[in-house]
Amino acid sequence: MTALAGRRFVLGSYRRILFDVDGTLLLGNKLMPGAVEFVRACRAAGLDLCFGSNVSFLTGPMLASRLSEAGIDARDRECVTGVEVLAGELRRVAGAAPIAVVAPREVVALLAALGVASREFGELRASSSILSEVAVAGFAAGVSDELVAVVGDCIGSGTTVYVNNLDPGMVTDTGVIPGSAATLGRLMERANSRPTVVVTGKPSPLFAAVAEAVFTNSGPTLVVGDSLNSDVGLANGAGWDSLLIGGQDEIWARGAPAPTFMAGNLAAQVVAGSVMTERSVMTERSVMTE
């Protein structure tokens, strides 16, 4: 069952805040309730901010522009995206060698701009060799069945598949758009052997390390997001606190990580034009099993 504990939330007890974006600050291109006020209050408190998103189609500066256009004060150096972390890990393991990339064309082009060369489709189709590395990213709808079949046939037990994230998809104002997890599922159905799968986006330590490099201070850190697995999981793995936006109690019974705090949205924490002052209280939630 879910038990309530009386821990007080004080914004000033943190030195660093890592914000998720989609479903937390933005829904599509629309602001989520309280998003601008919450970020503004964090800046007024002198907190170190990082905006971390699992998206595959934006770099950090592009994400900063998207947030700024929506009215949220975000700087280029504060923004980290999944495709950047994926590209960094691919460069580390493969160097300049081309990699089989299973992603929409725009994501392949973005990876190329980030220093990751992709193998040509014709070359992959003509080869039957087991691949050592495969990269998976982007919206599933942009990945053809033919590409999945060709790459899937070349996946073996010695293959490492680097996937941007295992989120169900991107939350928008029209619903959830399936992403790299759906593409990975299609590849696994085609593959004859189970490869090693490495997640580079949230909640992986790889993403946490890149976010850590963004922060200029050390100290208590809070992750604010709407995903139990990606955002709360990231926080738990890094030893940080978490604020889950939107209640998802029913998922907890399935073993998902428990957040430190919960709120319906950020607007729920706006008190008299301020956010989470010393007098503002939220209830800590924890999971207890009978």
Domains of the chain: 2-54+203-287 (3.40.50.1000), 83-199 (3.40.50.1000)
- For residue 26, what pLDDT is reported? 94
- For residue 287, what pLDDT is reported? 39
Distance, CA of 184 to CA of 210 (rounded, Å):
24
Q: Shortest CA distance to 226 belongs to which of 211, 206, 248?
A: 248
Q: Is 191 left (phi over 0), alpha (psi -120 to 50) or beta?
A: beta
Contact 244, 226 (CB under 8 A): yes
Distance, CA of 181 to CA of 54 (rounded, Å):
12
State the greatest distance between any 2 C-alpha atoms of the chain, in Å, as a whole number. 66
- For residue 69, what pLDDT is reported? 96
Contact 180, 136 (CB under 8 A): yes
- For residue 76, what pLDDT is reported? 97
Q: What's the CA angle centered on 214, arms 11 and 95, to 5 degrees?
A: 150
Average pLDDT for consecutive 10-residue bins of the chain (290 residues)? 50 94 92 93 94 95 97 97 97 95 96 96 86 94 94 94 88 80 94 94 97 96 93 95 73 65 76 37 39
Secondary element (H or E) of residue 262: strand 261-263
Cα-based torsion angle of the residue sequence 95, 97, 100, 101 in order, rounded to the nearest 10 degrees = 50
